[in-house]
């Protein structure tokens, strides 16, 4: 069933057999179906029994098949279908043909769901169209709405990137796009590796199991509230914002229910701890300045004796990736290439270990990051630190 879409007549016959079995039908007499079939197919959390509607179940299997082919281009399944049906394009761009096999036609019919939920992660920009594809880091409409006058439908995002510097062409972006979209685009981080563009899923709602019922109730309340607003002529939220609105209301409610822990706190060391010889410890911190829409990164490298090996100040625009990481937003996908860059670079070290510490254990890096507010460019110190940071360095040595 993962490669073939069953005819609707056959699906209906199978569901009839299932319903007869559940009602106790034995061929001699008809039984009463006390509960509607669609009600039985609803999730258990909302009062159903969780039975699968066969047609939707098969559609989901076909959707998964398309997703696997997109994300595993070296698989045997993808190579066979590509060589036969779409040798010169991707599976998403192939046109429906009358000469394809029934399995291939079934798979092509499942592409619409993938198109509605997919989001492009920008690598080198060579596969993503500026006007047609979904690639902007916003939750609602991920396609560009700027009134392009000189951009052709097939113009790719790579025309907006300076590949030598690994940066956006800010002058071109600001000239072509509306201000809010230009700001979003310039905030998308680019990898110096310039990897190929890849596709991520942008509609997953991350909900803990114990919050499934709450998110359903909050969504139902949001829909009811929107219905009342329509009826009485009040302003309403767009349909696409119902789920995000329900999620934010639930998060606000849960936060309001949190009880502060009044138990006596346990003393925890708030001082920097040196690494073992002959290793180095690298501490960094990020400070966000919303007024200037910028961020500053401070880095300090120290040896086992606490001596400064090097220090670094980096002013950087406040990209969406930095804001997402600071706020703990795992839904954001545009910084995935940056994380992969970190993993690749980390593999070059004989030993490396990442750990999160509180700011009171990271006072030197925090002070460096704040100092970078008045420095417009990158600054590096070798075996030294700024004079106003030196006292913190000495105080931090255990």
User: Does residue 379 register a pLDDT over 50?
Assistant: yes
Q: Please name the residues in contact with 217: beta carbons below 8 A apart, sequence gap of 6 or more.
A: none
Tell me: do 157 and 231 sit in the same domain.
no
> d(Cα 303, Cα 241) in Å, to the nearest integer?
51
The domain total for the chain is: 4
Of residues 392 and 29, the one with the higher pLDDT is 392
Answer with the one of 109, 136, 167 that is the final residue of a domain: 109
Average pLDDT (123-130) is 91
Of residues 237 and 332, the one with the higher pLDDT is 237
Tell me: do 326 and 366 sit in the same domain.
yes
Cα angle 119, 336, 319; round to 5: 90
User: Does residue 163 register a pLDDT over 60?
Assistant: yes
Average pLDDT (336-356) is 84
> d(Cα 319, Cα 323) in Å, to the nearest integer?
7
Q: What is the pLDDT of residues 172-226, one digit of tens each?
A: 998 888 888 888 888 888 888 899 988 888 765 444 444 566 777 888 888 888 8
Q: Determine how many CB atoms are found less than 10 A away from the CB of residue 269.
A: 9
Of residues 54 and 394, the one with the higher pLDDT is 54
Query: Does the residue 1 lie in any domain?
Result: no
Average model confidence (pLDDT) across the chain: 79
Query: Does the residue 63 lie in any domain?
Result: yes
Average pLDDT (92-100) is 76
Tell me: do 33 and 105 sit in the same domain.
yes
Q: What is the pLDDT of residue 101?
A: 80
Q: Computed over its alpha carbons, how large is the radius of gyration of the chain?
A: 28
Average pLDDT (241-255) is 74
Cα angle 179, 180, 181; round to 5: 95
Would you call 348 helix, strand, or coil by DSSP? Answer: coil
Q: 11-25, 47-61, 243-257 — which is least confidently predicted?
A: 243-257
Would you call 380 helix, strand, or coil by DSSP? Answer: strand
Q: What is the pLDDT of residue 207?
A: 46
Q: What is the pLDDT of residue 262?
A: 45
Please report which confidence band the pLDDT of residue 158 belongs to, taking 50, 70 and 90 as the band edges: very high
272-289 as b/e: b if 16+ CB within 10 A: bebeeeeeebebbbbbbe
Are the C-beta atoms of 302 and 398 separated by less than 8 Å? no
Instruction: Kindly tell me the burial class for residue 103, based on how many C-beta atoms sit within 10 Å of its own C-beta (0-12, 13-18, 19 or more).
Output: middle
Tell me: do 313 and 385 sit in the same domain.
yes
Cα 377 off chain centre by:
30
Say how many Å lie between the first and final Cα of the chain, rounded: 65
Tell me: do 290 and 386 sit in the same domain.
yes
> d(Cα 87, Cα 8) in Å, to the nearest integer?
31
Tell me: do 337 and 302 sit in the same domain.
yes
Q: What is the pLDDT of residue 209?
A: 45
Tell me: do 54 and 142 sit in the same domain.
no
Q: What is the pLDDT of residues 303-338, one digit of tens each?
A: 888 888 988 888 776 655 455 444 444 444 667 788
Q: What is the pLDDT of residue 103?
A: 81
Q: Which residue has the tokens 């709602």?
A: 205
278: preceding bond cis by omega (within 30 degrees): yes
Q: What is the pLDDT of residue 260?
A: 45
Tell me: do 17 and 121 sit in the same domain.
no
Average pLDDT (92-109) is 79
Tell me: do 220 and 149 sit in the same domain.
no
User: Does residue 246 register a pLDDT over 80?
Assistant: no
Tell me: do 156 and 220 sit in the same domain.
no
Are the C-beta atoms of 239 and 230 separated by less than 8 Å? no
Answer with the one of 86, 109, 132 that is the final residue of a domain: 109
DSSP string, 249-304: HHHHHHHHHPPP--SPPPP---S--PPPTT--EEEEEEEEEGGGTEEEEEEEEE-T
Look up the domain containing 379 and give its range.
281-396
Of residues 268 and 259, the one with the higher pLDDT is 259
Q: Determine how many CB atoms are found less than 10 A away from the CB of residue 129.
A: 19
User: Does residue 239 register a pLDDT over 60?
Assistant: yes
* Tokens describing residue 374: 């008045």
Average pLDDT (253-260) is 59
Are the C-beta atoms of 91 and 105 separated by less than 8 Å? no
Average pLDDT (241-262) is 67
Please report which confidence band the pLDDT of residue 346 belongs to, taking 50, 70 and 90 as the band edges: confident
Of residues 319 and 122, the one with the higher pLDDT is 122
Q: What percent of the chain has pLDDT over 90?
A: 5
Residue 125 zone, left/alpha/beta (φ > 0; ψ -120 to 50; rest): left
* Tokens describing residue 274: 């040196």
Q: Determine how many CB atoms are found less than 10 A away from the CB of residue 123.
A: 22
* Tokens describing residue 199: 């596709």
Confidence (pTM) = 0.63
Would you call 115 helix, strand, or coil by DSSP? Answer: helix
Q: What is the pLDDT of residue 267?
A: 41
Query: Does the residue 41 lie in any domain?
Result: yes
> d(Cα 317, Cα 293) in Å, to the nearest integer?
7
User: Does residue 385 register a pLDDT over 80?
Assistant: yes
Query: Does the residue 222 lie in any domain?
Result: yes
Rounded to the nearest 5°, which phi and psi values hold at 344?
Answer: -65, -45
Are the C-beta atoms of 195 and 203 separated by less than 8 Å? no
Any idea what DSSP says for residue 34?
A: -
Average pLDDT (351-360) is 82
Average pLDDT (109-138) is 87
Query: Does the residue 392 lie in any domain?
Result: yes
Are the C-beta atoms of 66 and 85 separated by less than 8 Å? no
Tell me: do 134 and 234 sit in the same domain.
no
Tell me: do 128 and 100 sit in the same domain.
no
Q: What is the pLDDT of residue 329?
A: 44
């Amino acid at each position: 069933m993962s490669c073939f879409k069953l005819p609707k007549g056959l699906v209906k016959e199978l569901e009839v057999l299932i319903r007869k079995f559940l009602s106790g039908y034995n061929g001699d007499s008809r039984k009463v179906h006390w509960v509607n079939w669609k009600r039985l197919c609803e999730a258990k959390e909302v009062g159903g029994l969780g039975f699968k509607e066969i047609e939707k179940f098969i559609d989901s299997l076909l959707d998964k098949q398309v997703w696997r082919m997109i994300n595993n281009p070296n698989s045997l399944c993808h190579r066979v279908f590509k060589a036969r049906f779409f040798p010169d394009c991707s599976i998403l761009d192939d046109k429906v043909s009358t000469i394809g096999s029934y399995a291939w036609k079934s798979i092509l019919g499942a592409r619409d769901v993938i198109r509605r939920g997919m989001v492009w992660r920008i690598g080198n920009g060579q596969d993503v169209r500026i006007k047609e594809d979904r690639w902007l880091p916003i939750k609602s409409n991920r396609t560009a709405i700027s009134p392009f006058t000189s951009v052709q439908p097939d113009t790719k995002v790579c025309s907006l990137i300076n590949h030598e510097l690994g940066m956006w062409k800010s002058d071109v972006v600001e000239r072509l796009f509306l201000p809010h979209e230009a700001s979003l685009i310039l905030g998308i981080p680019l990898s110096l590796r310039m990897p190929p563009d890849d596709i991520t899923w942008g509609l997953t709602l991350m909900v803990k199991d114990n919050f499934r019922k709450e998110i359903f109730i909050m969504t139902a309340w949001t829909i009811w509230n929107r219905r009342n607003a329509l009826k009485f002529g009040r302003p309403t939220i767009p349909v696409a914002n119902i789920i995000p609105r329900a999620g934010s209301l639930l998060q606000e409610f849960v936060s309001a229910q949190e009880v502060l822990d009044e138990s006596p706190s346990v003393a925890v060391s708030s001082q920097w701890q040196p690494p073992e010889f002959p290793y180095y410890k690298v501490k960094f911190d990020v400070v966000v300045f919303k007024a200037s829409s910028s961020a500053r990164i401070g880095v300090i490298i120290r040896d086992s004796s606490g001596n400064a090996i090097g220090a670094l100040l980096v002013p950087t625009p406040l990209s969406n990736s930095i804001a997402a990481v600071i706020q703990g937003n795992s839904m954001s996908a545009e910084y995935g290439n940056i994380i992969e860059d970190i993993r690749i670079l980390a593999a070059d070290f004989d030993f490396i270990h990442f750990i999160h510490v509180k700011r009171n254990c990271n006072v030197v890096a925090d002070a460096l990051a704040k100092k970078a507010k008045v420095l417009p460019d990158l600054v590096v110190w070798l075996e030294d630190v700024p004079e106003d940071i030196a006292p913190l360095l000495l105080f931090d040595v255990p």
